[in-house]
């Protein structure tokens, strides 16, 4: 297991696409949720209108330490899940594209040993990514509040740890989703394509825009993204959320459902790798 984990880490860090996606995720969080939000709210352009939302002098506090948890988790459950899905798909999909499953297994390790090393690494990467997002956002928020000359404080440490755990769970689950798609499609292109369609069409459009449709509202609470939204909604910031629909599930139910999805994706992937021809 340790040897497989080390091998997977070597492959992960040697794959430039992984680092590009990590940089994109962190940079997008800082650029849009922090720097751009603060800049526009501090110096609003002519005709700037929040459409019934908080005024600019309140809106800029999204980028302050008091809203660290809600701001970061919102990005995790939007762009973050798409990024880690791609990373999970690349991790296993390339083994089929490059025919390296056979090369690895002929050296002696069992299929499940190789797979569990891959899965464990992805879960650890999800944790490191969650820590990196909160760390980068915390530093940026401190800089912005100093520039503004305002005062703001972070949430209690216990809440911060819960938020990091929530981000870890969400990211790990969607990484495992990318992994299971890769072993189902036996490649990268199909798994990434199907995964992104699901994220942006099913979770983004249907669950976001059609949640009030009779019959559909009862089905949506089983989706992993909707349950992740229930977790995120538990970490409220100081900015009033007018016009934002209430979550369809509670935080406790959402956490349980997302954890079950992580287990199911992991078990299904392991069974496929163990039983199906890898050629």
Residue 123 near residue 8, CB atoms below 8 Å: no
Expressed in angstroms, the distance from the first to the final Cα of the chain is 23
Q: What total of structural domains would you count in the chain?
A: 1
pLDDT, position 20: 96
Residue 131 near residue 158, CB atoms below 8 Å: no
pLDDT in tens, 108-140: 778 889 899 999 999 999 999 999 999 999 999
Among 44, 81, 37, which Cα is nearest to 63's? Answer: 37
Q: Name the band, by pLDDT with cuts 50, 70 and 90, for residue 261.
A: very high
Residue 127: CB atoms within 10 Å? 16
Residue 254 near residue 168, CB atoms below 8 Å: no
pLDDT in tens, 165-207: 999 999 999 999 999 999 999 989 999 999 999 999 988 888 7
Among 204, 244, 234, 207, which Cα is nearest to 222's? Answer: 207
Q: What is the pTM of this model?
A: 0.93
* Domain that residue 196 falls in: 1-275
């Amino acid at each position: 297991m340790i040897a497989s984990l080390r091998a997977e880490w070597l492959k992960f860090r040697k794959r430039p696409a992984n680092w590009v996606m990590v940089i994109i995720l962190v940079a997008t969080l800082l650029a849009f949720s922090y720097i751009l939000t603060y800049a526009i709210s501090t110096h609003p352009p002519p005709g700037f209108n929040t459409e019934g939302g908080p005024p600019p002098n309140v809106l800029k506090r999204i980028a302050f330490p008091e809203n660290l948890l809600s701001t970061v988790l919102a990005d995790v459950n939007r762009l973050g899940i798409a990024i880690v899905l791609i990373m999970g798909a690349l991790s296993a999909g390339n083994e089929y594209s490059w025919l390296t499953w056979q090369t690895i297994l002929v050296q002696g390790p069992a299929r499940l040993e190789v797979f569990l090393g891959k899965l464990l690494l992805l879960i650890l990467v999800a944790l490191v990514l969650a820590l990196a997002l909160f760390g980068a956002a915390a530093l940026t928020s401190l800089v912005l509040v100093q520039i503004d000359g305002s005062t703001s404080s972070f949430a209690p440490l216990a809440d911060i740890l819960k938020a990091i755990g929530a981000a870890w769970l969400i990211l790990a689950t969607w990484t495992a989703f990318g992994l299971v798609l890769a072993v189902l499609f036996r490649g990268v292109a199909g798994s990434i394509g199907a995964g992104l369609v699901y994220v942006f069409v099913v979770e983004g459009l249907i669950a976001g825009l059609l949640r009030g449709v009779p019959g559909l509202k009862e089905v949506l609470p089983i989706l992993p993204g909707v349950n992740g939204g229930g977790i995120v909604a538990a970490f409220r910031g100081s900015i009033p959320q007018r016009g934002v629909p209430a979550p369809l599930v509670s935080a406790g139910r959402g956490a349980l459902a997302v954890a079950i999805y992580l287990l199911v994706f992991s078990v299904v992937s392991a069974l496929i790798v163990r039983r199906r021809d890898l050629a």
